Structure 1
Amino acid sequence: MAMLEPTVYLVDDDEAVRDALAFLLGTVGLRTEVFSDGVALQDSLNPDAVGCLLLDIRMPHVSGLQVQEALQAQGVDLPVIIMTGHGNVDLCRRAFRQGAVDFLEKPVDETVLLETVQGAIRQQLSKRERAEATVQAQACLARLTEREREVLHGLMEGQTSKQTARALGISSRTIETHRASLFEKLEVGSLAQLMRKYLSVVDSKPGPP
């Protein structure tokens, strides 16, 4: 699937603010889509969108925090930057509890805004890359035979080929054959790479409730 172009989704009920911020973001090459309210954003937002959400907290009908909460419930993983001209500790706390990456008070410092937005986009791109790598690793692991999984387990436990051979009741040469097959199927060239790929899958699994 082709990567979508990183976009800043700007939601503010003040047209002058929308125009000014969209222009500022454009000066550093950032694509921007603007919305006057959260409902319009939710109606048009692609769930797989890449970029970040720049969200005013006080708007008619639906507040920024309500928009943030609704998108979170829908599984949208856009980093959220909250903006407000009426900040207080409670609003800030609620925003961060809902996963906001930053909370900026208006008038927003231009340099701070650009750095925050660019950092949020890099954060999401990195997160998407890790998720894709995990999916690929899971697909590779799914191709292993039961015996190859047993050999892999021995490797992850730090066993030598001889130790694994004794545990499985097969020859060391057979273990080496399975090990070579492991490296080929998992598309790695070293034990360190093998461990990283294996752990990326193990670490992605949810723990016990």
Structure 2
Amino acid sequence: MTDPADPAIIHVVDDDPDLGRAVARLLGRHGYRTQAFDTPRAMLRAQADEPAHCLVTDVMMADMDGFAFAERMRAQDPAVAIIFMTAWPTTSSAVDSVRRYGGFDYLEKPIDEGRLLAAVAEGARWSRQRRGALARLAPLTPREREVLHCLAQGMSNKMVAAALSLSPKTIEDHRAAIVAKTGASSPAALIALVREASGTEG
């Protein structure tokens, strides 16, 4: 169940309108803000106006297959979680859905309600976390991002200075700016922030 005061937004895409709306209604009953779309292109337009936290998409669609859709979606919004569903499951597609397209789950129709709800809850949590991290990094300058990348690898100020051909004092100044802008004051916090922004911290 999502927070009723701040419900996660879930978009459902299936070229079977009845099924898409049925999945959206199910998620809506569990407190999510949902909208069903008959085509990927319609959903891409909507995502630009009101980004969803999680996308539940069919794999086999006439307009655009679910994996090509996922690639378009990731390019447009790297912080949306994607869940695939299909009536024609295969092992290779299941593996691709996770390894190549970053899917949170690969569900066989008819959909298992419990598994869908668990995947959506995890996907929405991941999306909120990643969006938050990306927002915290947004104010950083390109140089500050370079310094942060080095610090997140466990490098000391002196090591970062040598790697970037800068003085240790300059690195200290950049580090202070990074802490002020992101609120991540410890090495562990900086590492966690970078991982969350990249989507690798669950």
Q: TM-score range by the shorter chain?
A: 0.5 to 0.7
Aligned twin of 1:37: 39
CA distance, structure 2, for counterparts of residue 194 and residue 129 of structure 1 = 18
Q: Alpha carbons of 1:202 and 1:92: their partners in 2 closer, same or farther (altered >3 Å)?
A: closer
Counterpart of 1:37, as a letter, is T
CA distance, structure 1, for counterparts of residue 118 and residue 86 of structure 2 = 18
Aligned twin of 2:113: 110
Q: Alpha carbons of 1:199 and 1:113: their partners in 2 closer, same or farther (altered >3 Å)?
A: closer
Q: Alpha carbons of 1:195 and 1:33: their partners in 2 closer, same or farther (altered >3 Å)?
A: same
Partner secondary structure for residue 185 of structure 2: helix
Among residues 165, 168, 180, which one is paired with 1:186 in the alignment? 180
Displacement of 1:195: 3.4
Do 1:57 and 1:63's aligned partners in 2 also have CA atoms closer than 8 Å?
A: yes
* Superposition CA RMSD, Å: 3.9
Counterpart of 2:84, as a letter, is I
Aligned twin of 1:69: 71
Aligned twin of 1:24: 26
CA distance, structure 1, for counterparts of residue 114 and residue 91 of structure 2 = 23
Range moving further from structure 2, 26-35 or 36-45: 36-45
Q: Alpha carbons of 1:204 and 1:57: their partners in 2 closer, same or farther (altered >3 Å)?
A: closer
Q: Structure 1: 5+ residue runs without aligned partners?
A: 143-151, 157-166, 169-177
Q: Structure 2: 5+ residue runs without aligned partners?
A: 1-5, 145-155, 161-167
**What is the 5 A alignment of 1:74-113?**
74-96=76-98, 97-113=100-116
Partner secondary structure for residue 53 of structure 1: strand
How many residues are matched?
169
Displacement of 1:40: 1.4
Aligned twin of 2:187: 195
Counterpart of 1:84, as a letter, is T
Pick the structure with greater CA Rg: 1
Displacement of 1:19: 2.4
Aligned twin of 1:56: 58
